């Protein structure tokens, strides 16, 4: 965030830029209120400036939430939840369907905003918003399938069944790298399950938080529903800590670093709440000696360079069989030479800026650490001199057991290393604290099934012949170990957003006890 004076005319001047005209179409102006509380926009906290990472120039101002704003919002949300949870699930699904349709009408504007404020290239920005639309579609179908089980009872004239009921309020704390998609993973499911949502967006992407909320708020208003069903706050750690501590929020979804995620989990656990954690990744691609090398190189390029290496599923480690090591590395180096670095909104750009100046400084420090631990830079390794936060896509030859390899350097840095056997490759894959995503390139069925089996990858996402990133919404997304263990989006992730009750009903006149107990 910039320290630009709130009285400076620079906000209006920058907002008059032709490339910013689209912002008016999604309800944004030079100055914006950053809290949607009880159906009303307000903001009594600090005034901050959103900047574009491509040039570090201001886009617009946002008034963040104060703790008073938070408390007012939570009181209204708690009341609205009592109304929302009584609406039949298919009717809730209809509201989410309308949200998806509203997002479709603003898809390109919202995608452009993601690119402008976060820094990912336009195709990825539009793809991120499309992911929310896909989640809306998924959730609509789910709203008619929140099924419980009927369980045979051992007692005569008894019936056992499972009931799934809403939790109440779901807190969602998202990160800058996917400033709205992760909201979609959580909110679409939480809403059809009968929960209200309290969202704290990333502090460096407040305009995305506001624009997304305005679209959702419009749908609620159109259907004469309380605006507080969806409550949103722009703000920093103070608001996030309030969500973590708040006993009115039985489930908190947090996306961010393993270090902060652990603190959130400990805080939520102290009040016996539940956490969904999507934390750090340190993802590996293994290329076997029988792999389709062109397919592997194209996949590594997207996995390592996409979103400037700032996805939690970014490929950070490339394990090459020794017999094809040099061939793959040379082909990859050729591909890296073709990468266009530049404004993420311009056609043809593949590598946009890192999100903040601090991110660029961390990249520089990371390169120095890599060199000090024996890493050899074979491509990139430097910043790009410009007004923005651009760095070169980097390839490093390094030992698999170097300490720096076990850490997540959030940028386009790819560690390359050799292996001799599948067993060795799997051991390297599993040797880091994180356990999010992984992939292997091979044509051999025996290797594939070893890889996805109990002695294979220990990650939550285990791919074959595709990148580590770019997951579809139909599967459960999440990882193991220091990645946090959470599962969001598809499959049966919806069960985490509901409260399961096992119900036994006696419709007879006798009282037989389980396990054959005779009590008097």
* Residues 255, 186 contacting (CB under 8 angstroms): no
Nearest residue to 256 via CA among 281, 283, 280: 280
* Residues 22, 112 contacting (CB under 8 angstroms): yes
DSSP, residue by residue, 51-74: EETTTTEEEEEEE---HHHHHHHH
Distance of CA 291 to the CA centre of its chain: 30
Nearest residue to 199 via CA among 177, 176, 172, 170: 172
Beta-sheet pairing, 488-489 with 413-419:
unpaired
Q: How far apart are CA 197 and CA 80, in angstroms?
A: 10
**Residue count of the chain:** 520
Orientation angle between helical segments 122-142 and 107-118, nearest 10 degrees: 130
Would you tell me how many other CB atoms lie within 10 Å of the CB of residue 252?
Answer: 25
In the residue annotation, 472 being an active-site residue is answered as: no
**Catalytic residue chosen out of the listed positions 61, 64, 131, 278:** 278
With tokens 């993601």, the residue in question is 114
Q: How far apart are CA 274 and CA 310, in angstroms?
A: 27
Nearest residue to 36 via CA among 214, 242, 226, 262: 214
Which string of b and e fits 354-379 if b means at least 16 CB within 10 Å? bbbeebbeebeebbeebeeeebebbb
Nearest residue to 459 via CA among 441, 434, 440: 434
Q: How far apart are CA 353 and CA 343, in angstroms?
A: 8
Catalytic residue positions, numbered: 278
């Amino acid at each position: 965030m910039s320290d630009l004076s709130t009285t400076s005319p620079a906000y209006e001047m920058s907002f008059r830029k032709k490339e910013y005209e689209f912002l008016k179409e999604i309800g944004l102006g030079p100055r914006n209120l950053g809290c949607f509380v009880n159906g009303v926009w307000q903001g009594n906290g600090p005034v901050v400036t959103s900047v574009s990472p491509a040039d570090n120039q201001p886009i617009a101002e946002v008034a963040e939430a104060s703790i008073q704003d938070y408390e007012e919002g939570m009181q209204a949300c708690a009341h609205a939840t009592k109304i929302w949870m009584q609406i039949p699930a298919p009717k809730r699904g209809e509201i989410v369907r309308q949200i998806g349709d509203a997002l479709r009408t603003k898809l390109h504007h919202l995608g452009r905003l993601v690119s402008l404020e976060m820094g990912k290239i336009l195709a990825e920005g539009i793809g991120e918003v499309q992911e929310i639309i896909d989640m809306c579609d998924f959730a609509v179908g789910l709203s008619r399938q929140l099924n419980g089980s009927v369980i045979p009872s051992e007692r005569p004239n008894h019936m056992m069944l499972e009931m799934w009921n809403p939790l109440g309020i779901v807190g969602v704390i998202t990160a800058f790298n996917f400033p709205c998609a992760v909201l979609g993973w959580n909110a679409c499911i939480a809403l059809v399950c009968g929960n209200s949502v309290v969202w704290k967006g990333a502090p460096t992407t407040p305009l995305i938080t506001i624009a997304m909320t305005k679209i959702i708020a419009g749908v609620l208003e159109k259907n004469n529903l309380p605006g507080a069903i969806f409550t949103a706050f722009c703000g920093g750690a103070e608001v996030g800590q309030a969500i973590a501590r708040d006993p009115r929020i039985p489930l908190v979804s947090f996306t961010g670093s393993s270090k902060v995620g652990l603190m959130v989990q400990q805080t939520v656990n102290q009040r016996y709440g539940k956490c969904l954690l999507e934390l750090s990744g340190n993802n590996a691609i293994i290329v076997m000696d029988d792999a389709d090398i062109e397919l592997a190189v194209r996949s590594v390029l997207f996995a390592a360079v996409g979103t400037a290496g700032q996805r939690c599923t970014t490929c950070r480690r490339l394990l090459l069989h020794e017999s094809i090591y040099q061939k793959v590395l040379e082909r990859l180096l050729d591909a890296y030479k073709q990468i266009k670095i530049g404004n993420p909104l311009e056609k043809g750009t593949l590598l946009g800026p890192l999100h903040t100046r601090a991110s660029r400084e961390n990249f520089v420090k990371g390169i120095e650490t890599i060199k000090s631990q024996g890493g050899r830079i074979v491509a990139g390794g430097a910043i790009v001199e410009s007004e923005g936060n651009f760095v070169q896509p980097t390839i490093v030859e390094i030992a698999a057991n170097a300490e720096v390899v076990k850490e997540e350097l959030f940028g386009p840095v790819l560690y390359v290393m050799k292996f001799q056997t599948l067993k060795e490759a799997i051991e390297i894959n599993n040797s880091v604290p994180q356990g999010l995503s992984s992939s292997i390139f091979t044509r051999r069925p025996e290797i594939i099934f070893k890889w996805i089996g109990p002695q294979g990858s220990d990650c939550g996402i285990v791919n074959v012949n595709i990148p580590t990133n770019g997951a579809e919404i139909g599967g459960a997304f999440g990882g193991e170990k220091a990645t946090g263990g959470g599962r969001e989006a598809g499959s049966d992730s919806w069960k985490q957003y509901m409260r399961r009750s096992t119900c036994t009903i006696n419709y007879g006149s006798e009282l037989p006890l389980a396990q054959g107990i005779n009590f008097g």
